[in-house]
Structure 1
Amino acid sequence: MRSVSTRTRVATLAAVTAFGALFSTGTAAAATQLNGHWAPFDRCPVDAPAMLAADGVGTTATCISSGSAGGSIKLGNTVVTTGKTDLQLGVLQRADGTTSLVAPAGGALVADSATVPGGLLGLMCPSSVPVVSAVCRQITDADLNKITATIEPAGAPRDFNMGAAFATDVPILTLPVRIHLKNPLLGDSCYIGTTAKPVLLQPKNVTAPSLSLQQFEADGTPGDTGEMGRYTFSGADQADTAFAVPGASGCGLGLLDWAVNLKTGLPSAAGANAVTLDDTSTYFASPYDPASLAPNEGRELARFWHSAVK
C-alpha cells in the first residue's frame, strides 16, 4: 500500500475513528458476511461510483471500519452508558493529501441504543408541578418508563486537524450532534440540541492505539503475498470534556422541556459534560500496491470485496 503515504492513511483513519464512535444513529442491521480479514468491512460502499472511479495513482479507494465496545456520555447531571458502535466508510485518498468520504447506502453509522438510567421516573419524577405529576402518574409499566438516547448528526463535521491524529489531547475535528430522547410520553421529537444549536463534540485521543499490519488474498484469506493489506488499530480510548450542552426541546410537544432541563441540569456549560469511548478497534484496508492496479484500482477493490462474500 504505497501510492498514498502511510502518514496520510493513519491520519485519516484516526479522524474517522473519532467520527464513527460518536455518531451512533441506531441499532446495527444485518449485513453481508465476509471471509477472513475482510470481515470488519461488511458495509464498505465498494460499488459507489466515486469508489469505482479511483485509479490507484492520483486517488486510492479504501475501506474503513471502526467500532467501540462501549463508553459513556455525561450531559449535565445525567450519565448514560453507551453500547456498541459501528462506523463503516469508503475513503478516497488523493496523492496531494486531501480526502473525501463515501457513506454506505444505508448510512455510515449504526449502534446499539443507550438506555437512560431510571427512565422517565428518574428524569422528571417526583415533581410538585401538577402537569409533571400527572405525567408521572401515567407511568404504570416499564415500557412507559423506558427512555433511550441516540446521538444523531446535526450538521457537517468541520475543523479537521490532520496532525491531531498522531497526537493526544488535541481535537481531531468538530462534530455537531443532537441527542434524541425516545419515550412514548415524550413523543418522537424530544431532543437535546438542535441542528440550529447543536452539541459540538471535539474528540481527542486519550491513549494512542497499537498498530499492526495484515496482508491477505483478494478473498480475505490470510497470505503474506496477497493483493490486500489491512492496518489494525486497537486499544485507543478517546474523550471530550470541553463541550457545552443546550436545553431540551420538543419534549411532550414542548410542554415538558423545562422538566427535562430541570432534572437533568440543562443547559450545561462547557466543562460540566463529558463523552468517553473505550477500547476502540479500527480497521483500514486497501490494495497492498494500489498503483499496480491502475487505472482500475477502485473496480478491483470492489471485485476483491465481492469475492469474499460468504
Structure 2
Amino acid sequence: MSLVSSRTRLATLSALTALGAFASIGTATASSPQLNGSWAPFDRCPVDAPAMLATDGLDQSPQCVSSSSVSGSIKLGNTTVVTGRTNLQIGVIQNADGTSSVVAPPAGSIIADSATVPGGLLGLMCPSDIPFITDICRQLSDAKLNKITATMESVGTPSDFDQIAGVLTDMPIVAIPVRIHLENPFLGSNCYIGSKSNPIILRPSNKTAPDFAVERSNGDGSPNEEGDMSRLNLLGSTQVDTTFAVPGASGCGLGLGLVNGAVNLKTGLPSAAGRNSLTLNDTQTYLTGLYAPGVVAPDAGKVLSQNWHSAVK
C-alpha cells in the first residue's frame, strides 16, 4: 500500500466522522438524480466542480461526503426549534500533507425540511406595546396567518475543517456559515436571522463517537470486495455546538424591517455565544472515494466523476 493511499484512507475516516456535524438543518429539499448501490447517499456530490476534477490522486485526492439526520434541535436566544429530516453533501479534497478543503454543491451544501416555530407569530412577537405590532397580533386568530416556518440555509462554503477533531470528541470540527429564513405573510419574504455578510457560524463537535464500517464496490456502485471504490459508514453519532453567536433579525416586515425589533425583543436576539445551542441526533454519515487514487493519477478527479455518472439510474 502506498504512503499516499494510507494517508488518504486515514483522512477519509477523519473527514467522514467530522461531517456528520453538518446534517441537521438546511434549505428546502431539492430534486437530485437517484444513484445505484454504494453511490446512493451521494446524489448531490459536486464531482464536476473544477477543483474536484483537477485532483490528481497523488498530491490531492477527491472524496464525496453525505450526512443525514432525522431529528435535532437548535436554540437561538429564547427560542428552541425542533428540526426534521436533513441532509448535507459536500466534496472533500484531501491533500498529501494532511490538510483538506471543502467543495460545496452549486445549490448549497445543506437541504432540509422546514421546521415550525413554536407558538408561531404570536409566540415570536406578541403581545407588544408597539401599535403597528399590536394591530398584527389582533389578526392572528387564523392559524395560517400565525404559522411561522424556519429554514436554515447555507450562505457560503464551510471552512476550518479539522480532520483530527472528526475522530475525537469535544473539539470543533468545521465552521459552517448559515442563516435562518423565517416565513410568514406578515414577515414578508426577506426575514432572516443571520445574513450572507453576518452569518451564524456553527462549529459542531462530537459528543459521542459513531460506529463505523468499511465496504468496497465497483465504480458504478455495485458490490465488490475488491472494487475500485471504498465507502466508510459512520452511524449513530450525536454532535453538539454551544459556542456560536446569533445576530439579530433583519428584513422582517414586508421588506421594510418594521418587525425586526419586535422579533429580536421577544426571542432575545442578538444572542451572545454560550446562550445558543445545536444538537444533532443519530447522524448517518458516509464517505466514498477511490480505494487507490494514486493508481489512476493524474486523473483521479475525472475518474471519480465518471464513476458517479455511471451510477445514475
TM-score scaled by length of structure 2: 0.90
> May I ask how many residue pairs the two structures share in their alignment?
308
- Where structure 1 has 5 or more consecutive residues not aligned to the other structure, the ranges are none
2:23 — aligned with what?
21
Paired residue secondary structure (2:257): coil
State the match for 1:44 in structure 2: 45
Matches within 5 A, 1:123-202: 123-154=124-155, 157-202=158-203
Distance 1:49 1:199 in 2: 28
Counterparts of 1:246 and 1:60 in 2: how far apart (Å)?
37
- CA RMSD between the two structures: 2.1
Note if 1:96 corresponds to 2:97: yes
Deviation at 1:113, TM superposition (A): 0.9
How many Å apart are 1:53 and its aligned residue? 2.5
Specify the SS of the correspondent of 1:306: helix
For normalisation by structure 1, the TM-score amounts to: 0.91
Match of 2:111 in 1: 110
> What is aligned with 1:227?
228
Structure 1 residue 129, shift from structure 2 partner: 3.5
Deviation at 1:293? 1.8
Match of 2:285 in 1: 282
Q: Deviations over 1:231-262 (max 9, x none)?
A: 01111111112333232222212222221122
1:10 matched to 2:13? The reply is yes
User: Which blocks of at least 5 consecutive residues in structure 2 are unaligned?
Assistant: none
Q: After the TM superposition, which residues 209-224 of structure 1 pair with which residues of structure 2 at under 5 Å, given as runs?
A: 209-224=210-225
Aligned to 2:295: 292
Identity of aligned residues (%): 57
72-81 or 237-246, larger mean C-alpha shift: 237-246
CA pair 57-279 structure 1, distance change in 2 beyond 3 A: same
SS for the counterpart of 1:138 is: coil
- The question of whether the paired residues in 1 share the 8 Å contact of 2:154 and 2:179 is answered with yes
Cα deviation digits, residues 179-203 of structure 1 (max 9, x gap): 2211110112222233444333221
Contact 1:88-1:104 at 8 Å conserved across structures:
yes
- Write the distance in 1 (CA, Å) between the matches of 2:311 and 2:174: 33
Equivalent residue letter for 2:46: P
Contact 1:3 1:95 in 2 (8 A): no
Q: AA paired with 2:307?
A: F
Are the aligned partners of 1:4 and 1:60 in contact in 2 as well (CA < 8 Å)? no
